[in-house]
Structure 1
């Protein structure tokens, strides 16, 4: 993105802090005035002393000293305000941006997270925004001070000697043009550096979260090798960054020296010819030193500027990520949900690969009905469930809940009416109580305990070290699969949705845990519209209706007895599953079984 575009989009973040910014710039002006006064004082004392030393009295010198000390006190107070309040303003803007980024992430669909590494996202909302704090504070401040000093210096220097001043100021744009190339290269290097640190974060996260798999396969050396490769690539990028920064700094120093050469040579010649007084040349040199220090400070600030712009650019890239799922104009809250679901000619394909997953699905599910979804892997079962709470939107067709198009109801009310229990249970880092209460924030402790009892989780929770206050560890690593699943079911009990989606909720459990969790799920499903994806067909005998998905369509429909009589795909799946279970129970090797859709 262009720098001007980024600044234009970043500027609105100053709106809340206009008063602080104005005061900060006023203090910057005070510090500038205090700094610019010293050469004038020295020039005045030197000129008076050279003309008539008797005119300089002790009282005059003391008064000048008192005046200058008062100015330094003002300078100190102004500098304190800039250093403290100014930095706090920068941190507040960083905080606002991070809040906006996180809020935007909550609106993004599964498609975005499927295609973006978590490490990259973390980098964009943490380390990338750290540099924005300094940028937000120093950028307007530094440029304002530089502008002020340049204008004041030009006016004062021009009054001393216009020709010499013009020579000096002609060199400034030449310096700026010469530094532009290296400045742009530094910007590119910082962008590359930020991207790679995101990749490095993703690599570390992937390895640490999968540490059990790493150790199970004794692949520590493999992970170390991959990390070292990425780490040294990061070093290579930083080396390139420092190369351009060194060239940038060297260019500044060369022009710095050139300006002093011009002042010494041209100023000395002008003094010999009587075009400038010795005291004026001293004051002139001091002002040039101040001007050069300001230019050097601005150019050195360019590194911080580019870091800030890189952080802002990566922030804007995140904010520009399309929100695919949102409340349509005129969307209304769902009320008095009964749980009737209708699919009308629904088709779906993932945006990134455009492979058809569902094709022309027509389906009506009555309130309170128990529907099971079965079929070969990849048939679209999970996708069909994900369309109901609008984790994705259909490519074609529409889905109705109690006769209302779900795209015309608010997301909050829709998802509040739908409960999801998945095979891969996610527990947040915190206590058992906090994880259950997540189902309905603000629920009382009695309600949380009651939900746990309904889910068959109360007894094992009470046996934990700290009961409901037991820390479950990251992703619930301190609990067994069955325990985690029952806590997730308790969470849904507390939510009390009218529609329940069970996506292979017992697939990863042992027989005992599966039995306990199945009992909890039966209680949870009572009186609710329930769609179940089951890996064991024996668990869905009691379903009101079974749908068989294959080839992206519903190819069979009916209860267990009816489908077994048809001797179609469901029959083949059921017979194959029984053969596998019997072989497994006897300890035999699995026989070769053909897929039902072959």
Structure 2
């Protein structure tokens, strides 16, 4: 395998602010088609119900015409009562069909709305959790959550209601228009001219409503991001007495969202007002013309009634379509935002044809770095690591020490392939990790991070996170190895005790022992310990250190640590400074060298003497 220089994949573009987006249109809704196609049969069922309901609605004015002309008009004879009875029976039958078809349409389209939105939410979440850490460097969690919740709710309204309403009213509009021409071509020409005036404000305000809708969603996302950030840092907020400041900051974000929403609502209200005025003005004017036509004998009373009802249906359809257009425009903005998120590509790419790791050796995995140079995507001008070469043998325990910012934690992030180096290669058991499936690579590595993550579940499931298929007995065995069994047993419900959000019911040392148990349960050939004993008291450290020594048997271990108890036991110590390896050796040889490690050791020995003056 060559040592050629390679370039990392381009950094993912985070979701952009609305100001950066070019003006979209309802065409953005085409992006929903992949989520709609699996349910074509359901859409066909909804379409049939829709056509039946529209047909029944269009039949009602004709029934009224028959009732007026044959039951009450001048042509009514001795059988007028029978005609009225027959017409009312037919009208009831039409109403029954309309009710059944409407109920079927409502159920079907509501199911489609819920189902499609559930699929979209799952797809977006599945995509987001596969993004590299570079994505989350530039994207707020609250922004992503807003897109998964608020934006998908808008889409649900469109798929579950608006599409059906749009099709229904489009059918009513076209069918009503045809029947208007059949009834009176002259009055129809007049009403079409007036309806054109109704459409003009829709076109005029449509783009403005859509832009304001998109801005409104962005402001809601901003408020969610502020709230999420603060709620996840409440101890710090309260320790610095920033409750009032953060309340004002969130209030400002909420007021910004409210102001944007009110501008959207005012635009929608003006649009609705104009539509209603024009619709009812049209009806009144046409009714006046029709009344004179009846008086002059050129139209029957039933035909006038029929015409007015069809005109009402057409005008109502236009008004409903304007409402649907507003909802569709809001959903188009939401769809754009979600499609942006789905189009974001992770900087870490899975290989097209991943290689397999060699069978696990009895003494752990080999790890090799060849001329590795790396800069974080957000700080490309500053090298976090520079031309690193390192060869860790199977079964070896290597400690990495150095001042803050030396690049120790960065190394761990590269081992796990959270990032790719801009130059060089990292090999696990001789295989370049870029040629491994991410699942296989990370499955071969166990890590105990410095900042322990505890999930909102019980102790048993928190440890089982290390290996989902582990039995309860295996979980308890790992807890005993990590010196966690005793304190877990003392919890109110033992291993079934809920640990609180982010483990708030545990001390820092207890959280760290849970994390160690999780890593031990995974039983990987390569173990990474990032300050694994930093939060432990002296007694807990002794217990965990003993457990870690047992856990290191049969596996390769890389440790980031400052405590001499851990460092002294390592087979080899790597000293880093400014992203480079500056010293390598054992504890004794490095102290004798009198360099950076010797200074760090001297400082720690001094601290030990201060803390334990009698020893």
| TM value normalised by structure 2 | 0.91
Question: In 2 relative to 1, CA 257–585 (structure 1 residues): closer, same or farther, beyond 3 Å?
Answer: farther
Query: Is 1:67–2:90 an aligned residue pair?
Result: yes
Q: Report Cα offsets for 1:124-160 as digits up to 9, x if no partner.
A: 1122212222211223312221221122112111122
For 1:408-444, what per-residue CA distance to the aligned partner results, in whole angstroms no more than 9, with x for missing partners? 1111111110001011111111111111111111211
- Give 2:156's aligned residue: 133
* 1:251 correspondence with 2:278: no
Offset from partner CA, 1:374-399 (integer Å, 9 cap, x none): 11211211111111111111122211
Q: Distance in 2 between matches of 1:202 and 1:155?
A: 52
From the superposition, tell whether residues 165 and 429 of structure 1 become closer, same or farther in structure 2 (CA, over 3 Å). Answer: same
Measured after TM superposition, the shift of residue 230 of structure 1 is 2.0
Distance 1:212 1:161, change over 3 A: same
Deviations 1:213-253 (A, max 9, x none): 23323332222222222222222222222221222212212
Residue equivalent to 2:102: 79
Over 3 Å counting, the alpha-carbon distance change for 1:10 and 1:428 in structure 2 is same
> Counterpart of 2:117?
94
Q: 2:352 aligned to 329, 333, 342, which one?
A: 329
Match of 1:307 among 302, 324, 330: 330
Question: What's the secondary structure of 2:349's corresponding residue?
Answer: coil
C-alpha separation in 1, matches of 2:76 and 2:266: 54
Say if 2:158 and 2:327, in contact at 8 Å, map to a contact too: yes
- The CA deviation at 1:23 is 0.9
| 1:584 Cα deviation after fit | 5.8
Question: After the TM superposition, which of the residue ranges 440-449 and 165-174 deviates more from structure 2?
Answer: 165-174
Is the Cα contact below 8 Å between 1:421 and 1:502 reproduced in 2?
A: yes
1:184 maps to 2:217: no
SS of 2:77 mapped into structure 1: helix
Q: CA deviation at 1:103?
A: 0.7
Q: State which of 43, 47, 58 in structure 2 corresponds to 1:25.
A: 47
Q: Does 1:119 align with 2:142?
A: yes
Contact 2:491-2:497 at 8 Å conserved across structures: yes
1:524 matched residue in structure 2: 551
**Cα deviation code 1:107-126 (max 9, x no counterpart):** 10111122222111211112
| 2:478/2:520 contact within 8 Å kept | yes
Q: Residue 373 of structure 2 is aligned with which of 336, 347, 355? A: 347
Residue 232 of structure 1 corresponds to 255
Find the counterpart in structure 1 of residue 313 from structure 2. Answer: 290
Higher relative contact order by CA 8 Å / sep ≥ 6: 1 or 2? 2
How far apart in 1 are the matches of 2:360 and 2:247?
A: 53
Aligned to 1:12, which of 34, 37, 46? 34
Per the alignment, do residues 535 and 195 of structure 1 end up closer, same or farther by CA in structure 2, a change over 3 Å counting? farther
Render the CA deviation track for 1:484-521: whole Å, top value 9, x for unaligned: 11111111111100001111122233333333332222
RMSD of aligned Cα (Å): 2.1
2-structure distance, mates of 1:574, 1:98: 52
Q: Could you tell me how far apart the structure 2 residues matched to 1:265 and 1:52 are?
A: 24
1:261-303 per-position Cα deviation (integer Å, ceiling 9, x unaligned): 5413544565566554443222111111111111111212233
Q: Distance in 2 between matches of 1:580 and 1:56?
A: 113
Contact 1:334–1:410 under 8 Å retained in 2: no
Distance in structure 2 (CA, Å) of the matches to 1:480 and 1:431: 15
Q: Secondary structure at the match of 1:323?
A: coil
Unmatched 5+ residue regions in structure 2? 1-22
Partner of 1:453: 480
* 174 and 395 in structure 1: CA distance in 2 versus 1, 3 angstrom threshold: farther
Q: Does residue 1:481 correspond to 2:504, yes or no?
A: no
**Structure 1 outlier segments of 4+, above 6 Å:** none
Could you report, residue by residue, the CA deviation over 1:21-58 in whole angstroms, capped at 9, with x for unpaired residues?
11112111111111111111122233334342106433
C-alpha distance in structure 1 between counterparts of 2:455 and 2:68, whole Å: 73
CA distance in 1, matches of 2:189, 2:544: 85
Go from structure 1 to structure 2 and tell me whether the alpha carbon gap of 1:172 and 1:346 turns closer, same or farther (over 3 Å shift): farther
Segments of 5+ residues of structure 1 without an aligned counterpart are 587-598
Counterpart of 1:38 in 2: which secondary structure?
helix
What is the DSSP-based 3-state SS (H/G/I as helix, E as strand, rest coil) of the residue aligned with 1:77?
helix
CA contact (8 A) 1:373 1:548 kept: yes
2:212 and 2:356 map into 1 onto residues whose CA distance is 49
Corresponding residue number in structure 2 for 1:375: 402
**1:331/1:408 contact within 8 Å kept:** yes
The residue number in structure 2 matching 1:513 is 540
- Rounded Cα–Cα distance in structure 1 between residues aligned with 2:27 and 2:531: 48
Taking structure 1 as reference, are residues 115 and 516 closer, same or farther at Cα in structure 2, changes over 3 Å only?
farther
Q: Secondary structure at the match of 1:20?
A: helix
